[in-house]
Amino acid sequence: MDVNCTGLLYTTHLAYYWLPRNPGSGACSMDSQPGKQSRDRHLLLLGSMASLAPIPAQPQYGAAKHAVLGLFRSLRASSHVQGVRINMLCPYFIDTPIVTGPARLLLAGGAMGKVEDVVDAATRFVADSRVLGRALVIGPKVTVKQRDDGQWELVEKATPGSTETALWEPCADDWEEVDAFDRNIVKVLNAVQAARGWAGWATDVVKAIVYTLGWRR
């Protein structure tokens, strides 16, 4: 938790303080031209598949990586204020020494991702200044084909219309749900405020002052 959650929050806080002050850097924009600006304002978070799915054997790790996802989704909605672009990587089990022998036994019969695919994804995020607020899952390389309903299915190699990929975007469409939720909440809050009127506003102001002064504690 200290590294994956607390350390992440400290690092992010420092990044959002210093990146806008980086001499020669410009605010992020999807209309930017990669390679033509000398300095970028970019923070790349390292999540995990445990950011998206439960990992029963390691609840602390799962909680910490869920925190990375929550931080990413919150900041990508507001980081334009500081001109900082934020993206996130969510690797699956990658074939590195961090995957221990017992873990490899549990994964036997499946597959692991490759380091080079993680590096490729990170390089794209870092190098392309037009990429803002995106997340990628990196897993085993598979051959898939998109059905008419938009879903993907595993197919044999060389199947017409198929593609080989190790990258998946898990948060591409969640804006629709978030925006709808936010709109509904705002409508409800506005309705409540309108119903209470100025009298309700004045009452809340008095209560806030009383609370601040500690008279009712």
Tell me: the pLDDT tens digits for 188-199?
A: 777 888 888 888
pLDDT digits (tens, 9 = 90+) for 116-134: 999 999 999 999 989 999 9
More confident residue, 52 or 180: 52
Name the percent of the chain lying above pLDDT 90. 33
Residue 89: the pLDDT is 96
Q: Helix, strand, coil proportions of the chain in percent (round to 5)?
A: 45, 15, 35
Window from 31-35, 156-160, 175-179 with minimum mean pLDDT = 175-179
Window from 7-16, 51-60, 95-104, 178-187 with minimum mean pLDDT = 178-187
Q: Could you tell me the end-to-end alpha-carbon distance of the chain, in angstroms, rounded to an integer?
A: 34
Q: Give this prediction's pTM.
A: 0.78
Average pLDDT, the chain: 86
Beta carbons within 8 Å of 46's beta carbon, 6+ residues apart: 68, 88, 89, 91
Q: Is residue 179 very low, low, confident or very high in pLDDT (cuts 50, 70, 90)? A: low
65 as an active site residue: the answer is yes
Does 166 have pLDDT greater than 60?
yes
Catalytic residue among 10, 16, 36, 65: 65
The residues facing 145 across adjacent strands are 153
Catalytic residue among 61, 114, 141, 145: 61
Residue 217: the pLDDT is 54
Name the percent of the chain lying above pLDDT 70. 93
61 as an active site residue: the answer is yes
